[in-house]
């Protein structure tokens, strides 16, 4: 669904599940860190605001967006997390590199969701230009890091539900 129609950054806190016992991992790309670190701030802040203990938030940094998949895999295998959020930013350039990276990360995160018994949350910005990324990293369209954190909490609650 397009951001212009739905913005999870404007969620209703009263409808959020109890996150006080959740352990959340975040893997963030250092490439385009002026954007990705704002996504991280949004995710971390939303997790804390919704009751996740700061000691239960594990953060790992990887060089680029393509590497978030392997970083997320390691986090799932080496820590006791209930979900992993991957954060990155790929901006379209003049070569097909954008398409390969976006496709690879999308497929990688999907594969992790199938292979492991925890949710992996896709927080990769895939924009045409820097302004679109700025708008989605705390700008006029909210913070996709916040949205990824809200999604993680809801998916952990779903994963732990008995229904």
124 neighbors 87 (Cβ within 8 angstroms): yes
Residue tagged active-site, from 6, 44, 97, 117: 97
3 neighbors 133 (Cβ within 8 angstroms): no
Spatial distance between the Cα atoms of 105 and 150, rounded to a whole number of angstroms: 21
Cα four-point dihedral sign 141, 3, 29, 134: negative
> Is 97 one of the annotated active-site residues of the chain?
yes
Question: Among 63, 60, 131, which residue's Cα sits nearest to residue 92?
Answer: 131
56 neighbors 22 (Cβ within 8 angstroms): yes
Question: Among 44, 27, 2, which residue's Cα sits nearest to residue 124?
Answer: 27
Active site residues per annotation: 97
């Amino acid at each position: 669904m397009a951001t212009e129609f739905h913005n999870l950054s404007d969620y209703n806190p009263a409808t959020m599940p109890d996150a006080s016992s959740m352990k959340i991992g975040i893997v963030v790309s250092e490439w385009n860190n002026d954007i990705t670190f704002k996504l991280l701030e949004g995710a971390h802040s939303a997790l804390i605001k919704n009751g996740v203990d700061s000691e239960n938030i594990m953060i790992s940094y990887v060089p680029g967006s393509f590497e978030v998949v392997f970083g997320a895999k390691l986090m799932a295998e080496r820590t006791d997390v209930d979900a992993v959020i991957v954060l990155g930013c790929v901006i379209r350039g003049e070569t097909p590199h954008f398409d390969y990276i976006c496709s690879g990360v999308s497929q990688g995160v999907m594969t992790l969701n199938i292979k492991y018994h925890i949710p992996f949350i896709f927080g990769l910005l895939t924009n045409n230009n820097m302004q679109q990324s700025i708008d989605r990293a705390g700008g006029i369209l909210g913070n996709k890091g916040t949205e990824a954190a809200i999604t993680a909490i809801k998916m952990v609650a779903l994963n732990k539900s008995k229904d």
